[in-house]
Amino acid sequence: MANKLKIKAEKSSETEKAPEVAEKGIFDPEGELVIDVFETDSSFVVLTAIAGIQIKDIDISVEKEMMIIKGNRLNPHLDPEKKYFYQECYWGPFSRKIVLPENIEVEKAAAQMDKGLLTIKIPKLSS
């Protein structure tokens, strides 16, 4: 069964976000989500695979024409005694910014997660 999440529309300015950058640190590594973005006759759609995290731990916000998807994937097997042969999975904070088209209704956007695939659908404005 798919879990659903409401998307936050924000109206803050970039200057209000400056403390967050200072807190986090400019050079802290952060993973970037890979995405598929497409449109149908009725919607603008963003798809991304986010394994190992629940939808309640994902922050999706829209500010002006930019959608931001953020989260933090915690390593469930963190143990200093382990000696890895391979460690290719990314653990830690991740984000992705997506420029949105003008002809959409952000207030009606909906997100759901099913089997690790996050789908965000934003309806197009009626003509």
What is the span of the domain harbouring residue 67?
Answer: 3-123
pLDDT of residue 20: 45
Residues 6+ apart with CB under 8 A from 5: 55, 56, 58, 60, 111, 112, 113
Write down the pTM of the prediction: 0.76
CATH number at residue 11: 2.60.40.790
Using DSSP's 3-state secondary structure scheme, residue 91 falls into coil
Render pLDDT for 64-116 as a digit per residue (tens, 0 to 9): 899 999 999 998 888 888 888 998 888 999 999 999 999 999 999 999 999 99
pLDDT of residue 99: 96
User: How many independent structural domains does the chain possess?
Assistant: 1
pLDDT of residue 121: 97
Binned at pLDDT 50, 70 and 90, residue 27 comes out as low
Indicate whether 48 pLDDT > 60: yes
Residues 6+ apart with CB under 8 A from 87: none
Indicate whether 37 pLDDT > 60: yes
Using only C-alpha atoms, what is the Rg of the chain? Answer: 17
- CA 36 distance to own-chain centroid: 12
Q: How many CB atoms lie within 10 A of CB 77?
A: 9
Cα separation values, 89 from 9, 77, 86, Å: 31, 12, 9
